[in-house]
Structure 1
């Protein structure tokens, strides 16, 4: 059956078909009759860059023969290609939707089977369970369990992760890195899953974001007395940071499967509430949103997590404990899996960490501005379009077809080696409202996190030749 193109086009018939296919994996021939369903937006505006996510609650009756009917409630999360044609075209070129679907359908199962065979006492890599998936070029949908209904939740991005949550997150990503690294030694990961090959064109969108985010950084520093010298340094830092950033990617280091967008809102936690007091025990963790995953240097995930999702105070106070935790999990698990890393002491690991600091600053700086701003247009709810009216469907299809054609024409130019100058026009208009918010001083958390990131980068000498 043809998959719907978005949440508004989910039908009872498609739900029955999809759920029957899911249930029939364990009980062949199971029939599903949907009694009721409801669809709602899955994530706040501005946080779904790779896809559109909706949540679907379904009440259905399952039957597998006479007298065997039973009622069942499903809580689902369904992902579709982004409704914006330009975003959808970019994601097609990066294969974001394919990579995420394969993570749920094949990759994690393969890695967990490898882990269980060699280290059976180790817990598996934790992601939501997949219910259904389809990708054939013109159609795409990924349906997973809605783990919020099972008690999982994300941490407040404005507060950042505390030590307990960082340690648990680092432990989990170290497992992903270690298992994929060891699996590759035995089976050649990229030969089996070539879509995860890192491509240089991924980097072509960074210069435009870097240039305009630095302008916002200068604006931030100009609001703080005593930071005039640092403001001048940051104002002239673009060529220096660009050179260091691209040099970093010439040094690849140890390679494994990386999440690629490993930050606060892509990590979900579950807690156990104790009856005798208000304390909560961290019970479970699941990693979500794998559309940016690729075969890369594992430091990329670590740098991204700590520079987007923690405060400077936490990094200064606990960085050694955090990195020791990661190194211990990674090296001990790769050894147990039969793929020990020779000559990779903690001091060698720290050298890798220091070498990749430029990535943490650049991506952290850009992400902080986009996720903590209250004025960024992507974070504002989008009202219904007049073209959503049923009578205007033909016009909507024509408009979308034109947009898609333009996206296919412009997409390769933007992602090409000279794409920065074209991307700059778009990025400039997107980040300009954030600059006004920074200058107004109304978003104290955004300004404080930016200031901390800039002072930390300066201490590390990132703005120096």
Structure 2
């Protein structure tokens, strides 16, 4: 593994800045910041769209001269990163700020008061600062939340919990749109695939090219799949846009948009069983079918036996949770039958093609090269070396013997 590098501390993140924001958060003009300790929360290469910084603070107030100490997380955009132009085209930075400032408080209230689940669904927001393109959150590691291993992925117990919380999120999003018409009209129409921009096209095509090159190392995979993967390179964006087009009769809601292992944190009981799951990244939240979240999650984050053998049962589990919560919030729109929802899931199935053989290898990569979106986009020798190392990992080649036949059986590698 390469030595982990970190991003520099933002120049504006000073003691005066933090004191000003904490005074606003705690509603105390007398708050005095006594100590400020800053350190990276995630190493460079562990997150591809933002910089995460953890701050430890000690402060006093006029009301309580006794020092209080706590932590917060600060999320800052990669506005100067070489690959930032990709994200900017999708409006993800302003969207996430809007989510935390305007949308998530309403969703959280719906879940707590009408679905009657007192558990957290996301971290509380301290400050949304549009001048510095940053967000300050509660640090939920203080409540013993932690991210599961992205390489080992999730078992059935964790999977059921995520699906339960996802159903709450989707139900609340659907009824919020019903009660506040137009709330998702602006800037919630640009997921990875959309009709406005193809900013992710070099990412998609370069990953497919690297996948194709990796098949040369396995005669069976090369003979059976290489021609299909090569043909897909020229069609990936068209198929993706077609699969995410909303059609009359579809059940639609606010989809999370980027649901994979490292975007979920779990809390556990004393016996090690997960008791709650929260979502921690809302860059790609989009108005679409909840099926895209299911495909993305199944394809990137759960054990292979669940992904390949248990999908219909997992969809059924999710569907009945969704229906239960939609009834609790008195959603007045059409709730599809399980049969119709399974069909909707199949119509969005191309999401599994880019999520599983393309994104998932990148997500679980644990090799010697430094991962970055810039390296995925780059076609120079360094970028090609990185992508080849990702796709030539022995564990990935073994998974491809399971994944590619699975996708082929669905007709997802043929002309569509």
Contact kept in structure 1, 2:89 and 2:197, CA below 8 Å: no
Which residue number in structure 2 is paired with residue 254 of structure 1? 251
Give the whole-Å Cα distance in 2 for the aligned partners of 1:343 and 1:100: 28
Which residue number in structure 1 is paired with residue 52 of structure 2? 53
Which residue number in structure 2 is paired with residue 318 of structure 1? 310
Q: How does 1:6-45 map to 2 (within 5 A)?
A: 6-24=9-27, 29-45=28-44
Which residue number in structure 1 is paired with residue 5 of structure 2? none
2:283 counterpart of 1:291 = yes
C-alpha deviation, 1:152, in angstroms: 0.9
Contact kept in structure 1, 2:369 and 2:389, CA below 8 Å: no
2:146 counterpart of 1:195 = no
C-alpha deviation, 1:56, in angstroms: 0.7
SS at match of 1:36: strand
Q: How does 1:270-285 map to 2 (within 5 A)?
A: 270-273=267-270, 279-285=271-277
2:242 counterpart of 1:232 = no
2:149 counterpart of 1:156 = yes
For residues 64-107 of structure 1, what are the alpha-carbon distances to aligned partners after superposition, in whole Å with 9 as ceiling and x for unaligned? 3xxx3121112110012215254445444433222222222221
Contact kept in structure 1, 2:72 and 2:139, CA below 8 Å: yes
> Are residues 358 and 100 of structure 1, via their aligned partners in 2, closer, same or farther at CA, if it must alter by over 3 Å?
same
Give the whole-Å Cα distance in 2 for the aligned partners of 1:371 and 1:355: 25
Q: How does 1:250-399 map to 2 (within 5 A)?
A: 250-252=245-247, 253-273=250-270, 279-340=271-332, 342=334, 344-373=336-365, 374-378=367-371
Which residue number in structure 1 is paired with residue 198 of structure 2? 204
| Structure 2 stretches lacking a partner, 5+ long | 1-7
C-alpha deviation, 1:239, in angstroms: 3.9
Give the whole-Å Cα distance in 2 for the aligned partners of 1:215 and 1:88: 22
2:395 counterpart of 1:445 = yes
For residues 408-436 of structure 1, what are the alpha-carbon distances to aligned partners after superposition, in whole Å with 9 as ceiling and x for unaligned? xxxxxxxxxxxxxxx99944347522443
Give the whole-Å Cα distance in 2 for the aligned partners of 1:84 and 1:153: 29
Give the whole-Å Cα distance in 2 for the aligned partners of 1:79 and 1:20: 19
> Are residues 313 and 293 of structure 1, via their aligned partners in 2, closer, same or farther at CA, if it must alter by over 3 Å?
same
> Are residues 325 and 289 of structure 1, via their aligned partners in 2, closer, same or farther at CA, if it must alter by over 3 Å?
same
Which residue number in structure 1 is paired with residue 68 of structure 2? 72
| Structure 1 stretches lacking a partner, 5+ long | 274-278, 381-422
2:92 counterpart of 1:96 = yes
Contact kept in structure 2, 1:216 and 1:434, CA below 8 Å: no
Contact kept in structure 2, 1:6 and 1:52, CA below 8 Å: no
Q: TM-score, normalised by structure 2?
A: 0.87
What is the aligned length?
401
Q: Pick the structure with more helix per residue.
A: 1
Give the whole-Å Cα distance in 2 for the aligned partners of 1:180 and 1:438: 36
C-alpha deviation, 1:311, in angstroms: 3.5
Give the whole-Å Cα distance in 2 for the aligned partners of 1:270 and 1:166: 14
Give the whole-Å Cα distance in 2 for the aligned partners of 1:87 and 1:99: 18
SS at match of 1:250: coil
Moved more, 260-269 or 36-45: 36-45
> Are residues 431 and 159 of structure 1, via their aligned partners in 2, closer, same or farther at CA, if it must alter by over 3 Å?
farther
Q: Which runs of 4 or more aligned residues in structure 1 lie more than 6 Å from their structure 2 counterparts after TM superposition?
A: none
> Are residues 92 and 213 of structure 1, via their aligned partners in 2, closer, same or farther at CA, if it must alter by over 3 Å?
closer
Q: Which has the larger radius of gyration?
A: 1
For residues 236-284 of structure 1, what are the alpha-carbon distances to aligned partners after superposition, in whole Å with 9 as ceiling and x for unaligned? 33345444323223344322111111100000001112xxxxx312122
Q: CA RMSD in A?
A: 2.8
Contact kept in structure 1, 2:209 and 2:233, CA below 8 Å: no
